[in-house]
């Protein structure tokens, strides 16, 4: 590679990394906005979340294309190739987090538009802030190639799962006491499920970061192994 080509290549790789982080930032904003508007009942904000989702989809397509182009033109090897292959996976998860935010916004709109008084009072904000925190940390880990942050995200996924189970228990109690809450309760259940899935996707992103840095695939290997991978050089 000539010096010029190599500079150009570095520039292209950096541009891909930057856009992944940009996409991640947008996705993070979408969740935060959906959850905030669920609490306040701000229908305009919810509508905005639904409207903005296509921008995230578009970013995914552009980034996928940029990855294919860079592989075709630059034939990256070793670390660089691992970065590109990880990005292809990471953006799929980010796009699906975007989908979950959109689902939350849609269900929240329905909840606030209905005149049903039978809405079980269940708090989703704690679970949601845990999931957003996981996503933020996973993106940080991607930006700084920080293995221990990535391992921390994998660990946190258990907390989100525990929160989710707590929400289900609360819901069962509500519905037993007043079966008229079932219909709205199911909406809340699926919002909680969406939050739990956001945690799963953030965990996937963190695992791709570990692969990117260590060249070691830690998916499906359990937390202990992931922490071992993160702590060895």
Q: Which stretch binds its own copies (CB under 8 A): 17-25, 60-68, 125-133, 149-157?
A: 60-68
Q: 146: which DSSP letter?
A: -
Q: Which is nearer to its own copies, 18 or 183 (CB)?
A: 183
Q: Per-residue x/- mask for its own copies, residues 119 to 158, rule CB under 8 A?
A: ----------------------------------------
Residue of 109, 101, 114 whose CA lies nearest to 38: 109
Distance CA 112, CA 30 (A): 18
Q: Whose Cβ is closer to its own copies: residue 39's or residue 58's?
A: 58
From the centroid of its chain, how far is CA 24? Answer: 8
Residue 147 backbone dihedrals phi, psi, to 5 degrees: -70, -35
Residue 120 DSSP symbol = -
Shortest reach from residue 116's CB to its own copies, in Å: 12
**Which region among 31-39, 42-50, 104-112, 176-184 touches its own copies (by CB under 8 A)?**
176-184
Q: Which stretch binds its own copies (CB under 8 A): 12-20, 34-42, 73-81, 143-151?
A: 73-81
Member of 12, 42, 48, 64 binding its own copies (CB under 8 A): 64
Half-sphere exposure of 49 (CA within 13 A, CB side): 29
The beta-strand segments (E) located in the chain are none
Task: Tell whether residue 214 is a contact of its own copies (CB under 8 A).
Answer: no
Q: Is 180 one of the binding residues for its own copies (CB under 8 A)?
A: yes
The b/e string for 165-195 (b: 16+ C-beta within 10 A; e otherwise) is eebeebbeebbeeeeebeebbebbbebbbbb
Q: Considering the complex, what minimum distance in angstroms separates the CB of residue 160 from its own copies?
A: 16
CB 208 within 8 A of CB 189: no
Residue numbers at the binding site for its own copies (CB under 8 A):
54, 57-58, 60-61, 64-65, 67-68, 71-72, 75, 77-78, 81-82, 85, 88-89, 92, 168, 171-172, 175-176, 179-180, 182-183, 186, 189-190, 193, 217, 219-220
């Amino acid at each position: 590679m000539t010096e010029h080509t190599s500079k150009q290549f570095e520039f292209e790789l950096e541009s891909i990394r930057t856009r992944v982080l940009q996409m991640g930032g947008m996705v993070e904003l979408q969740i935060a906005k959906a959850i905030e508007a669920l609490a306040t009942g701000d229908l305009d904000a919810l509508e905005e979340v639904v409207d903005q989702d296509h921008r995230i989809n578009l970013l995914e397509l552009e980034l996928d294309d940029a990855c294919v182009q860079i592989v075709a033109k630059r034939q990256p090897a070793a670390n660089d190739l691992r970065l590109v292959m990880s990005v292809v996976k990471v953006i799929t998860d980010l796009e699906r987090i975007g989908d979950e935010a959109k689902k939350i916004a849609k269900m929240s709109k329905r909840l606030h538009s209905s005149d049903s008084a039978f809405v079980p009072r269940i708090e989703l904000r704690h679970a949601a802030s845990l999931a957003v925190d996981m996503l933020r940390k996973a993106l940080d880990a991607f930006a700084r190639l920080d293995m221990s942050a990535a391992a921390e995200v994998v660990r946190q996924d258990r907390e989100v799962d525990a929160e989710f189970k707590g929400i289900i228990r609360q819901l069962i109690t509500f519905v037993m006491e007043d079966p008229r809450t079932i219909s709205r309760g199911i909406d809340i259940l699926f919002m909680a499920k969406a939050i739990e899935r956001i945690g799963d996707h953030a965990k996937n992103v963190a695992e791709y970061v570990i692969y990117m840095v260590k060249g070691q695939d830690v998916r499906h290997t359990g937390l202990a192994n992931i922490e071992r991978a993160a702590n060895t050089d």
